[in-house]
Amino acid sequence: MNAKANITRASLAAGAGLLFAVALGVRAQQNGVQHANNFTTTEYYEPPHQQQIKSILSGAEALPQPGGLLIIKQLKLEMFNPDGKLEWVVNAPECVYDTFKGVANSPGHLQVRTGDGKFRVEGEGFLWRQSDSFLTISNNVRTVIENGAIMNTKP
């Protein structure tokens, strides 16, 4: 497994981790902040790549709920590698994040694609578990892989 692969996978996990971190931040302020509109949160890499954006999480609304829940609308998560290349983009019209359990879920739509758009997955209903980096898309899953990433004998 080469470094590039590790970066890609690490980026996806890190992006989800960012979601977790943001949720924790909002939870800490729940008593003072009812909700946030058009928010964007940017995370940077650790040195020596501290000038590079690691991920950008944005949303139209973040609504804290009782029990440590956070409703995020128009979620968009972009993850970059240390070279600045866009690696993954995640879009969801709405999801609920449980800040205590570290679980995000929604009965709605989810889109995940690589930065170059050559690998795309979408479906209805999803569950993300932060603890073991596990994503389930529950229904009507459609995956598109461009340029013969699977079963392409002849280059």
Partner 1 sequence: MVHAQTNATAPAPPASVTTNSPDATRPPRAPTRIDSDSVDFDLTKHEATYRGHVHVDDPQMKLTCAQLTTDLPESGGRPSRIVAETNVVIDFTDDKGQTNHTTSDKAVYLYNVQNGVTNETVTLTGNPQMENAQGTQAGDVIIWDRANNKIHFDNPHMIFRQNLNGATADTNAAAAGTNDLSAPKKNDE
Residues binding partner 1 (CB under 8 A): 1-2, 4-5, 8-9, 12-13, 87, 114-116, 118-119, 121, 123, 132-153
Q: How far is the CB of 136 from partner 1 (least distance, A)?
A: 5
Q: Tokens representing 146? A: 């461009």
- Please, which residue, 70 or 79, has the CB nearer to partner 1? 79
CA angle 121, 105, 138 (to 5 degrees): 50
Q: How far is the CB of 124 from partner 1 (least distance, A)?
A: 10
Check if the beta carbon of residue 45 is closer than 8 Å to that of residue 52: yes
- Please, which residue, 92 or 137, has the CB nearer to partner 1? 137
How many Cβ atoms are within 10 Å of 28's Cβ, its own excluded?
11
Q: How far is the CB of 63 from partner 1 (least distance, A)?
A: 27
Check if the beta carbon of residue 55 is closer than 8 Å to that of residue 49: no
- Please, which residue, 33 or 144, has the CB nearer to partner 1? 144
C-alpha dist (Å) from residue 90 to 52, 58, 64, 70: 19, 10, 21, 18
Q: How far is the CB of 28 from partner 1 (least distance, A)?
A: 27
- Please, which residue, 54 or 64, has the CB nearer to partner 1? 54
How far apart are the C-alpha atoms of 61 and 3, rounded to whole Å? 36
